[in-house]
Amino acid sequence: MRKTSLRLLGGATALATSLTLVACSGGDKAGGDFDGEVKVGILHSRSGTMAISENTVAEAELMAIDEINAKGGITIDGKKLKIVPVEEDGASDWPTFAEKATKLIDQDKVAVVFGGWTSASRKAMLPVFEAKDHFLFYPIQYEGQECSKNIFYSGAAPNQQAEPAVDWLLQNKGKDFFLVGSDYVYPRTANTIMREQLKANGGKVVGEDYLPLGNTEVAPIIAKIKQAMPKGGVIVNTLNGDSNVAFFKQMKAAGITPANGYSIMSFSIAEEEIAAIGPEYLEGTYAAWNFFQSLDTPASKEFTKNFKAKYGDKRVTSDPAEAAYMMVYLWAAAAEKANSVDDNKVREALIGVSFDAPEGKVTVMPNHHVEKRVLIGEVQKDGMFKILEDKGFVKPVAWNQYVPETKGYTCDWTQDRPDAGKYKM
């Protein structure tokens, strides 16, 4: 008995050693002639529920950094600086994001932090960046109703994704809407905006339901959809993560499909998610994004080609990856324009900076958001999108104009006033 347990202990030790060694292998092999370094923080969930999505975003950021370094880094005061990423793991846990952000700013003295995915993680980091007057670059489409001096939003504001999508649905697909979302801040806020928008434009919300994150039982929602719109209608899906798979599998089984007159529009399903859910469940449903892998421009093809070369042939690019990739370039351009990596100078220089991103030429607006291209696509058999409508470049609106509480408010960080983040127009 004693012998076996000791052997077992030995086995466990050996296994643990092997795991550590495997984890430690690998390293960077960059070299070249640089006059100095500038540290930047990369703070995404590399473990936990969100790791699936956030890994890609972090990879896109690292790719942009590598590309910039390969071209000689950024030039400040005639000196070539190498960008050195400092990676931290937010672990899908919102307080951890705040903690790691503090560490990156105080201990590593990074010039800027690229990070976050869920709105919950951004809301957790916001007070840290405001208190330390530092700068966070956030790459994901979100619910708006926020305009911080210390955050730069490279994803879509609602008027660059949700609103044009709803307009398009109203014009082409029907007036009865059913809203389904995960139970947290983004879907609830996005649905509040949509309800107001539909009220203003002659649509009708016939039902609304929320699934807790990770829940996989959709039967009650399906029953409600069938009661509310037995003959078909529009379903807007703001579910996030695993619940999407359950949602689409069970909807298909229950006959709530495009073939039966249901138009389903999702705001969190990009190429990456389609591969995980299975294109056969999603074929014929819609999505609104600022970038699709199928976007037929030289910059887009180049981006996808490089991404696949770096991370594997089976990988796909998506809107969040593109937004993450371009924000690194926007930061580098702003730093060169400011001739400094100091976050306050970069913040001033950032407004008006342009970059030829994979989606097209994007420009930073005074409200710390980006003017972005709005696209509506339909999922095809191969898991890619067919672009149905290109609404061109749309200027971002941070404070929503449909919601009565924020109607008439705007945000402009070029204004020299204490309430530049939110003031009456």
> Which CB atom, from 17 or from 344, has the smaller least distance to other proteins?
17
Start-end of H helices in 316-399: 319-338, 343-350
Cα–Cα distance, 333 to 99 (Å, whole number) = 29
Residue 58 CB, shortest distance to other proteins, in Å, is 13
Cβ at position 232, least distance to other proteins in Å: 14
Dihedral angle at the C-alpha atoms of 280, 281, 284, 289, nearest 10 degrees?
A: -110
CB 253 to other proteins: min, Å? 3
The phi, psi pair for 115, rounded to 5°, reads: 180, 170
Least Cβ distance, residue 352 to other proteins (angstroms)? 38
Torsion of CA 313, 316, 322, 324, to 10 degrees: -80
- The secondary structure of 139-187 as a DSSP string is -S--------TTEEE-S--GGGTHHHHHHHHHHHT-SEEEEEEESSHHH
Can you tell me the distance from the alpha carbon of 314 to that of 275, in angstroms, rounded to the nearest whole number? 10
Residue type, 297: T
CA 299 vs. chain centroid, Å, equals: 20
**Rounded Cα gap, residues 332 and 114, in angstroms:** 12
In whole angstroms, the minimum distance from the beta carbon of 269 to other proteins comes to: 13
| Full DSSP string of 245-283 | HHHHHHHHHTT-SGGGTEEEEESS--HHHHHHH-HHHHT
Q: Which is nearer to other proteins, 276 or 388 (CB)?
A: 276
Give the H/E segment covering residue 78: none
Residue 136 or 239: which CB sits closer to other proteins?
239
Minimum CB distance to other proteins smaller for 170 or for 254: 254
Q: Smallest distance, Å, CB 141 to other proteins?
A: 20
Q: How far is the CB of 218 from other proteins (least distance, A)?
A: 8
Query: Among residues 131 and 276, whose Cβ is nearest to other proteins?
Result: 276
Give the separation between CA 319 and CA 332, rounded to whole angstroms: 20
> What is the 3-state composition of the chain as percent helix, strand, coil, each rounded to the nearest 5?
40, 20, 35
Residue whose CB is less far from other proteins, 103 or 224: 224
- Here the tokens at position 43 are 């703070």
Least distance in angstroms from the C-beta of 64 to other proteins: 22
Which of 9/30 has CB closer to other proteins?
A: 9
What residues line the site for other proteins (CB under 8 A)?
2-3, 5-11, 13-15, 17-18, 21-22, 25, 49, 51-52, 55, 183, 208-212, 214-221, 223-224, 226-227, 242-246, 249-250, 252-255, 275-278, 280-281
* Cβ at position 68, least distance to other proteins in Å: 27
Nearer to other proteins, 14 or 388 (CB): 14
Quick check: 41 and 112 in contact, CB under 8 A?
yes
Q: Which is nearer to other proteins, 55 or 294 (CB)?
A: 55
CA distances from 6 to 9, 14, 15, 20 (A): 5, 12, 14, 21
